[in-house]
Structure 1
Amino acid sequence: MSGDRPPGDRPATYGQVFAVREFRPLFGSYLLSTIGDELARVALTVLVYQRTDSALLAALTFAISYLPWLLGGPVLSALADRLPRHRVLIGSDVARAVLVAAMAVPGTPLPALLALLLVVSLFAPPFEAARSALMADVLEGDRYAVATSLTGITGQAAQLIGFGLGGALLAQFSASAALLMNAATFAVSAGWLALVLQRRPAPVQDAAGPPRSLLQDTAVGLRLVAGAPRLRAIVGVLWVAALFVNAPEGIAAPWTLQLQDAVGATGLLLAANPAGTAVGGVIVGRFCPPALRDRLLTPLVALSLGGVLLAGLVPLVLDRGTTSFVVVLVLLFVAGLGGACSIPLNVAFVQAVPSAYRGRAFGVAVAGLYGVQGLGAVLAGAGADVLRPSTVVALSGAIGLVAVVVPLLALRRSSPVVGDAAHVASGPAAGGPSQA
């Protein structure tokens, strides 16, 4: 027998993750596209506001890029299973580079600009589904979990870089310059992916059964997630936690004003939770062995929602002012540490989905995630019209703690067998003859 320690004894290192040749362009393309997207979002929002003097239109411009995930995420993500994933990645980046460059043409009419933005955004679901599925294929064992935490941390940093770059470019040049830089990030990403990624056949070719249409494949993805008990439980924990943890973001401005008379500090309130999530991702993803991560799932979920509950209760203990605001920031940071629960959830999700179905399954999970985050913000806003913002925040944490018990128990009882999910996906519900 080998003297090596068992894989579950210790986590993989960042060096081992980056040693995988194909991971480097997958990671780099994510970093480049995130920076470029946030940069373009700032540029377009400012451009639309400058042309229309309408805050509503500027806000809608900012939101357009998220719409494809909600409206067609599961459908578009199915392309990552129907076509070779390297082609989906490269083709999406090439198309986005061309379209964003077209948006940079000075004097482009506003309706055309918004239409181009919507079309550009349609390439995000298939790209992200293919990237996530391919990452699970090229990284073995604990390398995938560590890569997941690294990608999440980098995503937070890339958003900040993109926003900062966007502001700097707008200050020195123009919105067109910012858009051209975004187009360049997509072009560089496409070239990098084309040079390094292996050519693999479309995963759906390995799946049993006759050929299906895109909509039928989408239905398979929906039935797969809804019909496999373990996948349903994993997604349930993820969605419930996101619904109640992110709800306070929708009332950040009035909550800040309740805590102290400085609406300009809203950015700090919004940044506290993501900062905690980034730190938690390093701790849980890099320094916790795989077996320990699994055991930490329930405590991390409880920490995430419990931190929100306690942050909402601060005004009951402390008077309005700087001290109460700082305590809330600390509690939201702690809640963010609990957000590292996404790492074991992501690993469990990948392990439970056969490779040929991962693109569709990721599409369903991410589309639902965007949906519940938006729903949480809307519900919090509606609640803050009749209750104090801090009360709404406390209720979000309390209700979330109760609601998440059901999917957590279901996850504990479920069987981590990949074949179960494959059976659900390839069974009668997937497009074969129905049973009476």
Structure 2
Amino acid sequence: MSNDPARPSGPADEVTQSKGTVTFRDIFALPEYRALYLSTVVNWVGDYLSRAAVTVLVYHQSESVLLSAVSFAIGYLPWFFGPVLAALADRYPYRRIMIVSDLCRMVLIALLLIPGLPVPVMLLVLLLAGLGAPPTQAARSALLPVIVGRERLALALATNQTTGQAAQVFGYLVGATLAVALTPRIALGIDVATFALSALLIAFGVRRRPTVQAPSQRTHLLQETAEGFRLVFGHPALRSIAIVVFTATVFAIVPEGLAAAWAAEGTRDPATRGLDQGMIMAAGPLGFVIGGILFNRLVPAAERARLIPYLAVLPPLFLVPSLLGPPAEIVALLVMLSGVVQGALLPTLNATFVLALPQSFRARAFGVMNSGVQLSQFGAVMITGTLADHFWLPLVVGLWSIGGTLAMVVLAISWPSQQTFTEAVEAANRPEPAHQADGPGSARLPTTSVTPERPQPRR
């Protein structure tokens, strides 16, 4: 295995040197990527199936809309502890983290199959099961560049993210259908099976690798978590990416989160209302799939990087016409156009972010990012939902989107030069200093986290 932790061994090394166009065949030719990809897909489908089913199960048992909503929103709570939980993935091998997490969640979700389980117990089980998501996602994110290499990374990330959007649409639709037409426990049983299948795929499809953080480098878990925050927000390149991703999330999630109320604004017919809601909710993920596949497949990497500050302004800008209260079909079109640009933008940002991270800090940094995204979504939906209770919903979304557009313009103007990102990637790929001889508590932040920010014109 290569001594450089930022570079994988085997076929991916060849791709790192490749200057040609990367295709889907290239990434799926890697057996480890196929295993990791399939594990991720079945996990996503199972999660969305169970999320849709649990809301129905809780509602049937409690006849409370509030408790049903709580059962859906409880999935966000573990992300308040996400950075700390994600720091565990830097302490132990990524493969082990993913397998153990899948098996623990399999057992916990299986408890929901017990008939007559009290609603408070069900909510507690959901909360405990959700604690496995941050370390698993951090481990997957950190392992992906090791498996696919630098040249394949952008397309692999785009493939994963677009598949995730498709899995969300499929899981919600199928989960709700099974829960209403048959029984929610069928969907929950499928979720249990997906965790088992995911653990098997990782166990037999991903090879063992040592932990990226030696025991002698470990300090206190909270201190290591704080190092992840300092790394992300202490370097101009990483900080700029994080702020753009969080801002895009805050302003793009609103149509999906308010889709039910938005559909009710336009019609009193339950059948039409359901169709409008589904159309608005599915438009964003559908647009993301289209943008992610086409943009990241057809546009060269250098051009993608150059377009980032211009693309960032478009997702909230496309939603500004909702201020006029258009019909649901137009709303869905606007949401889809916003999703197309997000699909073009976010995988490129993610790939740049990954490459600018030292290997031993990747899981912690992704814990910060994943938690920020989840909590940003939660906060945005709660704030706009509260405002929509007192004001006309299209007005709320339109003004919210105007604010997002102005924020993105400011971020685009202050976007760092390409040289800043190039230097960050080069620094991250230099061998990290060994601290094993220094004794416990000697771990230090890599040089990329303390590089002084020099004002440079954006190119």
Give the match for residue 238 of structure 1: 245
Q: Aligned AA for 2:46?
A: G
Q: Is 2:61 aligned against 1:23?
A: no
1:355-434 equivalence runs, <5 A: 355-413=359-417, 415-416=420-421, 417-418=424-425, 425-426=445-446
- Where 1:181 maps in the other structure, the secondary structure is helix
CA distance in 1: counterparts of 2:394 and 2:175, whole angstroms: 33
Distance change >3 Å, CA 408–CA 80, structure 1 → 2: farther
Q: Deviations over 1:408-429 (max 9, x none)?
A: 34432371224767898247x9
Q: Is 2:315 aligned against 1:312?
A: no
1:328-339 equivalence runs, <5 A: 328-339=331-342
CA distance in 2: counterparts of 1:152 and 1:380, whole angstroms: 25
Give the match for residue 109 of structure 1: 118
1:10-159 equivalence runs, <5 A: 10=21, 12-69=22-79, 71-159=80-168
Give the match for residue 352 of structure 2: 348
Q: Is 2:230 aligned against 1:227?
A: no
CA distance in 2: counterparts of 1:173 and 1:251, whole angstroms: 27
Distance change >3 Å, CA 169–CA 257, structure 1 → 2: closer
1:201-220 equivalence runs, <5 A: 201-205=210-214, 210-220=217-227
1:301 corresponds, among 302, 306, 312, to 312
| TM-score between the two structures when normalised by the length of structure 2 | 0.83
Q: Is 2:288 aligned against 1:277?
A: yes
| Shift, 1:250, TM fit | 4.0
Q: Aligned AA for 1:52?
A: S
Q: Aligned AA for 1:245?
A: A
CA distance in 2: counterparts of 1:304 and 1:21, whole angstroms: 35
Distance change >3 Å, CA 149–CA 415, structure 1 → 2: same
Q: Is 2:206 aligned against 1:194?
A: no
Distance change >3 Å, CA 351–CA 62, structure 1 → 2: same
Q: Aligned AA for 1:166?
A: G
2:328 corresponds, among 308, 317, 325, to 325
| Shift, 1:333, TM fit | 1.4
| Shift, 1:286, TM fit | 1.7
Contact kept, 8 Å, 2:310 with 2:412, in 1: the verdict is: no
Distance change >3 Å, CA 385–CA 162, structure 1 → 2: closer
Q: Deviations over 1:97-129 (max 9, x none)?
A: 122222212233333222222111100110111
CA distance in 1: counterparts of 2:420 and 2:394, whole angstroms: 40
CA distance in 1: counterparts of 2:170 and 2:158, whole angstroms: 19
| Shift, 1:253, TM fit | 3.8
Distance change >3 Å, CA 184–CA 253, structure 1 → 2: closer
Per mean C-alpha deviation after superposition, the further-off stretch among 393-402 and 339-348 is 393-402
Aligned residues: 413
| Shift, 1:180, TM fit | 2.1
Contact kept, 8 Å, 1:302 with 1:338, in 2: the verdict is: no
CA distance in 2: counterparts of 1:193 and 1:293, whole angstroms: 32
Q: Aligned AA for 1:80?
A: A
Q: Deviations over 1:332-389 (max 9, x none)?
A: 2111111121011101100111111010101101111111122222222233345432
Distance change >3 Å, CA 412–CA 19, structure 1 → 2: same
CA distance in 1: counterparts of 2:298 and 2:348, whole angstroms: 13
| Shift, 1:171, TM fit | 5.0
Distance change >3 Å, CA 221–CA 50, structure 1 → 2: same
CA distance in 1: counterparts of 2:71 and 2:56, whole angstroms: 9
Contact kept, 8 Å, 1:247 with 1:379, in 2: the verdict is: no
2:189 corresponds, among 168, 180, 184, to 180
Distance change >3 Å, CA 382–CA 102, structure 1 → 2: closer
Contact kept, 8 Å, 2:36 with 2:205, in 1: the verdict is: no
| Shift, 1:404, TM fit | 1.9
| Shift, 1:173, TM fit | 4.6
Give the match for residue 267 of structure 1: 278
